[in-house]
Amino acid sequence: MASCYLESLNYVLASTVFQGVRSKLDTEVSLSGRNCLLIEISGFLEHFISFVSTIWDIFRAFSCPSADLFLLCKQRASLNLRTKLTEPASLTNFILAEHTCKSIYAVDTMLEELNSLVFDDFSQFMSSIGTKLSVEGLLCGDLSREEADEVCEMISVIETSPLIASKDGRRDDIPLPDHDMNVCARKISDTNFVANVCYQIGEKRHIAMDTALLRLFSSFIENDIVLKLRYQKNLGYAVSAQTDDEGKIIYSFCVVSCDYNHEVLLANIEEYVRSVRLFLESVDSSVFEKHKAGIQFFGEVESLWEQLSEEDRSDDFEMSVKNCMKDISKDDVIKFYTKWFLPPARPFAICIWGCQFREEYWNSK
Residue 136 domain boundaries: 2-156
Within a domain: residue 171?
no
188 shares a domain with 114: no
Which among 91, 123, 156 is the end of a domain? 156
Which tens digit of pLDDT belongs to each residue from 198-242? Answer: 888 876 667 888 888 998 999 899 999 999 999 999 998 889 888
Q: What's the domain count of the chain?
A: 2
Which range among 62-71, 217-226, 288-297 shows the weakest confidence by mean pLDDT? 288-297
The stretch 87-107 carries a mean pLDDT of: 70
Count Cβ atoms below 10 Å from residue 172 Cβ, excluding itself.
12
**pLDDT-based confidence at residue 80 (cuts at 50, 70, 90):** confident
Which tens digit of pLDDT belongs to each residue from 332-351? Answer: 999 999 999 988 887 888 87
Question: Nearest-CA neighbor of 10 among 26, 36, 30, 35?
Answer: 30
Q: Is the dihedral of CA 204, 206, 209, 212 positive or negative?
A: positive
CB 4 within 8 A of CB 42: no
C-alpha to C-alpha distance for 322 and 297, rounded to whole angstroms: 7
CB 288 within 8 A of CB 272: no
Which among 110, 141, 156 is the end of a domain? 156
250 shares a domain with 299: yes
Which among 123, 156, 189 is the end of a domain? 156
Domain at 121, CATH number: 3.30.830.10
The stretch 314-327 carries a mean pLDDT of: 80
Which tens digit of pLDDT belongs to each residue from 122-172? Answer: 888 887 776 566 677 777 777 788 888 888 887 765 544 444 444 444 444
Which tens digit of pLDDT belongs to each residue from 26-41? Answer: 998 887 655 678 888 8
339 or 247, greater pLDDT: 339
Q: Is 58 helix (H, G, I), strand (E, B) or coil?
A: helix
The pLDDT assigned to 114 comes to 84
